[in-house]
Amino acid sequence: MDKTQIFKELISMQQIIINPFPSKDTAKMQKDFKRKFSKEDCLNADLNTYWMNISGCLSYVLRGNQSKIPQGQIDWLKLSFFDIFGQYQFLEENISNYPTFYDEYMNNEKTRKLLLEYLSFN
């Protein structure tokens, strides 16, 4: 894809990733894997932080301000949620069992990868 095609795809992804947070699925995950979560883990907060980084970077790009994205945010874009928050890696192979969460996760992953591809043109 060229840069223009990626930009158009990012515009459409903006509408797709603005869904409500999949809290019912994350609550079910936490119940189903209760023994694997530590007291310090806060899955919803960690997911929200990660996905907000993707949304924030998307906002910069769609406004033509990609050069203003802080390097720390770009560094996070280069890593998956499970790379950054390794304590949840046990969930990665099970996320397809939680359809709403899976859809949100995959849409954010698609957006993240498109952003990286778009930023590689600069």
Are residues 99 and 22 in contact, defined by beta-carbon separation less than 8 angstroms?
A: no
Q: Which pLDDT value is given to residue 122?
A: 67
Amino acid at 102: Y
Cα–Cα distance, 84 to 111 (Å, whole number): 17
Q: Which pLDDT value is given to residue 1?
A: 86
- What pTM did the predictor assign? 0.94
Cα–Cα distance, 41 to 2 (Å, whole number): 40
Residues 6+ apart with CB under 8 A from 68: 60
Q: Which pLDDT value is given to residue 42?
A: 96
Over its length of 122 residues, how does the chain's per-residue pLDDT go in tens digits?
899 999 999 999 999 999 899 999 999 999 999 999 999 999 999 999 999 999 999 999 999 999 999 999 999 999 999 999 999 999 999 999 999 999 999 999 999 999 999 999 96
Instruction: Give alpha helix (H) positions in the chain.
Output: 3-16, 23-32, 43-62, 71-77, 81-84, 89-92, 99-119
